[in-house]
């Protein structure tokens, strides 16, 4: 592992050894001369885990949480609305189950930013940092660590279980960037709706019997004779390999860990409730994973880039999607887990006010809606508002920085924390670390 000097000149390795991490944050010299605890932040953790439902492409705010029934037809579109449990607040017509659950979550209607293409919007919302250079729509870019990677590093998971899952793929800017590959998402591409589904690597291959797996361990014990250099000063990588091998075995042999991966243990009733779709079963798997201590799971759901035919496509998709989302929230609530589990659903931006000539809506970052449930989020509230026609967030306008900081705060991570790039440059996790206080409760 290469270690670098940061701009204060001390290497990260040294600071770990010396326990100086906190001092660096305040500037080494200043820190040593006069260290005062920052009085401004209360970092008590509200959530032990976050399930991030990423609606890639950018879901329309009109057809989800911010309908404008009084706007002209070309803006309000083909859909009606449904009332929620919050007086005066309506959702778009397909969100029936979510509307009846609206006392369990909050909606932010006023996130606004300036990155109107997918690559850039993804990056901004997934990391809290705008992209450093212009990036195209199809781009997958990363200039800054993602939410999931930061949580994996700062919170971690027990028994060596991967701390950041992403299913069925990594989101565009969901990587670790300079935090290093250790904090990359553990991607489970296989479909948990399949009867033969297993979580790769953390369970024994289907083609292998448990007996044979045990016998392989015995073989290995007899064969492995490489000399270990036990003096830590020597930095022998075999020691880390041994440690991780044992951790791996622990995962295989731990009934709790294996239960987390075994979606087949769920009753049919529960599997039905989440929906038998791939997304439904992934949401259920996510719930099992967070129960086992995984602090961050991204459920990547593509296909929200409705440039054409938005109403027909939504008719097809939305009922099942919202039903899974509602089932996840209900299930967590029923199991007493919602209080400590944050569920967030969003995409990279909202969509244009006027329905275009192809019956779709285009990219629009002046307004977007985000759902926040659990993890200490007050239920039954709506934060902020767009204007009468939904063109732009105008009331209590918040930024992607505020949004990302909110998740960090809930996870007990200081958004102002300083991390170092490989060049040694100190940078804050979020450049402006103010959380959306209404969501902190």
Residues 41-60 binding other proteins (CB under 8 A) are none
Task: Closer to other proteins by CB, 161 or 314: give it.
Answer: 161
33 touching other proteins, by CB under 8 A = yes
Nearest approach, Cβ of residue 72 and other proteins (Å):
30
Reading the block at residue 68, the tokens are 């404008």
Among 219, 265, 272, 358, binds other proteins (CB under 8 A): 219
Task: Closer to other proteins by CB, 73 or 133: give it.
Answer: 133
# residues contacting other proteins (CB under 8 A): 100
Among 81, 100, 238, 356, binds other proteins (CB under 8 A): 238
Task: Closer to other proteins by CB, 8 or 56: give it.
Answer: 8
Nearest approach, Cβ of residue 187 and other proteins (Å):
8
231 touching other proteins, by CB under 8 A = yes
Do you know the residue count of the chain? 441
359 touching other proteins, by CB under 8 A = no
Task: Closer to other proteins by CB, 139 or 313: give it.
Answer: 139
* Residue 216 φ then ψ, to 5°: -65, -40
Nearest approach, Cβ of residue 273 and other proteins (Å):
30
Question: What's the angle, vertex CA 90, arms to CA 89 and CA 93, rounded to 5?
Answer: 170
Site for other proteins in 401-430 (CB under 8 A): 418, 422-426, 428
Site for other proteins in 147-186 (CB under 8 A): 160, 162, 175, 177-178, 180-182, 184, 186
Instruction: Please state the separation of Cα 332 from the chain's center in Å.
Output: 17
Segment interacting with other proteins, rule: CB under 8 A, options 56-64, 72-80, 217-225, 286-294 = 217-225
| 8 Å CB contact between 350 and 367 | yes
Nearest approach, Cβ of residue 207 and other proteins (Å):
6
HSE-CB of 262 using CA atoms within 13 angstroms: 15
116 touching other proteins, by CB under 8 A = no
Task: Closer to other proteins by CB, 106 or 202: give it.
Answer: 202
Task: Closer to other proteins by CB, 76 or 420: give it.
Answer: 420
| 8 Å CB contact between 397 and 410 | no
| 8 Å CB contact between 149 and 184 | yes
- What's the N-to-C CA distance of the chain in angstroms? 42
Among 21, 69, 136, 303, binds other proteins (CB under 8 A): 136
Segment interacting with other proteins, rule: CB under 8 A, options 18-26, 76-84, 93-101, 326-334 = 18-26
Nearest approach, Cβ of residue 280 and other proteins (Å):
25
Among 103, 114, 224, 316, binds other proteins (CB under 8 A): 224
Give the alpha-carbon dihedral of 280, 285, 286, 289, to 10 degrees: 170
Helix (H) or strand (E) holding 83: strand 81-83
Instruction: Please state the separation of Cα 410 from the chain's center in Å.
Output: 12
| 8 Å CB contact between 274 and 280 | yes
Segment interacting with other proteins, rule: CB under 8 A, options 21-29, 69-77, 284-292, 346-354 = 21-29
Task: Closer to other proteins by CB, 187 or 289: give it.
Answer: 187
Among 87, 88, 138, 336, binds other proteins (CB under 8 A): 138
Q: What is the Cα–Cα distance from 323 to 34, expressed in whole angstroms? A: 55
Q: What is the Cα–Cα distance from 407 to 52, expressed in whole angstroms? A: 10
Task: Closer to other proteins by CB, 151 or 318: give it.
Answer: 151
Q: What is the Cα–Cα distance from 88 to 106, expressed in whole angstroms? A: 15
Closest CA to 373 of 326, 420, 310: 326
Among 59, 119, 293, 353, binds other proteins (CB under 8 A): 119
34 touching other proteins, by CB under 8 A = yes
Task: Closer to other proteins by CB, 29 or 265: give it.
Answer: 29
Taking residues 249 to 288 in sequence order and writing x for each that binds other proteins by CB under 8 A, - otherwise, the string is x-xx------------------------------------
Segment interacting with other proteins, rule: CB under 8 A, options 23-31, 55-63, 82-90, 403-411 = 23-31
86 touching other proteins, by CB under 8 A = no
Q: What is the Cα–Cα distance from 95 to 249, expressed in whole angstroms? A: 44
Reading the block at residue 289, the tokens are 């994973």
Closest CA to 49 of 298, 324, 335: 298
85 touching other proteins, by CB under 8 A = no
Q: What is the Cα–Cα distance from 45 to 291, expressed in whole angstroms? A: 17
Instruction: Please state the separation of Cα 367 from the chain's center in Å.
Output: 21
Q: What is the Cα–Cα distance from 421 to 10, expressed in whole angstroms? A: 13
- CA separation, residue 30 to residues 12, 22, 419 (Å): 18, 12, 18
């Amino acid at each position: 592992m290469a270690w670098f000097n940061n701009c204060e000149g001390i290497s990260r390795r040294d600071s770990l050894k010396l326990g100086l991490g906190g001092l660096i944050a305040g500037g080494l010299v200043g820190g040593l001369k006069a260290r005062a605890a920052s009085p401004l932040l209360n970092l008590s953790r509200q959530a032990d885990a976050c399930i991030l439902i990423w609606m890639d492409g950018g879901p329309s705010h009109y057809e989800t949480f911010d309908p404008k029934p009084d706007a002209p037809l070309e803006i309000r579109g083909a859909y009606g609305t449904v009332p929620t449990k919050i007086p005066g607040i309506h959702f778009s017509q397909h969100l029936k189950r979510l509307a009846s659950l609206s006392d369990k979550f909050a909606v932010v209607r006023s996130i606004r930013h300036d990155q109107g293409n997918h690559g850039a919007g993804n990056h901004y919302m997934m990391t809290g940092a705008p992209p450093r250079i212009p990036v195209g729509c199809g781009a997958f870019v990363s200039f800054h660590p993602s939410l999931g990677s930061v949580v994996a590093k700062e919170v971690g998971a027990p028994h060596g279980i991967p701390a950041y899952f992403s299913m069925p793929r990594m989101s565009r800017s969901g990587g670790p960037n300079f935090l290093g590959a250790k904090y990359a998402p553990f991607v489970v591409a296989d479909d948990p709706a399949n009867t033969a589904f297993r979580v790769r690597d953390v369970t024994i291959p289907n083609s292998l019997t448990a007996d044979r797996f045990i016998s392989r361990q015995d073989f290995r014990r007899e064969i492995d004779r490489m000399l270990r250099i036990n003096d830590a000063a020597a930095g022998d990588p075999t020691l880390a390999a041994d440690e991780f091998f044992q951790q791996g075995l622990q995962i295989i042999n731990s009934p709790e860990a294996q239960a987390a991966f075994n979606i087949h243990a769920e009753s049919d009733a529960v599997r039905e409730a989440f929906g038998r779709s791939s997304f439904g079963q992934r949401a259920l798997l996510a719930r099992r994973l967070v129960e086992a201590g995984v602090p961050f799971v991204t459920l990547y759901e593509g296909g929200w880039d409705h440039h054409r035919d938005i109403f027909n496509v939504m008719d097809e998709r939305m009922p099942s999607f919202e039903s899974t989302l509602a089932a996840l929230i209900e299930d967590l609530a029923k199991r007493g887990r919602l209080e400590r589990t944050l569920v967030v659903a969003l995409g990279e931006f909202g969509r244009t006010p006027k329905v275009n000539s192809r019956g779709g809506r285009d990219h629009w970052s002046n307004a977007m809606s985000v759902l926040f449930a659990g993890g200490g989020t007050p239920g039954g509230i709506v934060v902020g508002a767009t204007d009468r026609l939904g063109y732009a967030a105008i009331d209590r306008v918040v930024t992607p920085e505020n949004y990302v900081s909110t998740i960090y705060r809930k996870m007990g991570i200081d958004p102002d924390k300083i991390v170092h790039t490989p060049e040694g440059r100190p940078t804050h996790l979020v450049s402006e670390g103010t959380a959306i206080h209404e969501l902190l409760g």
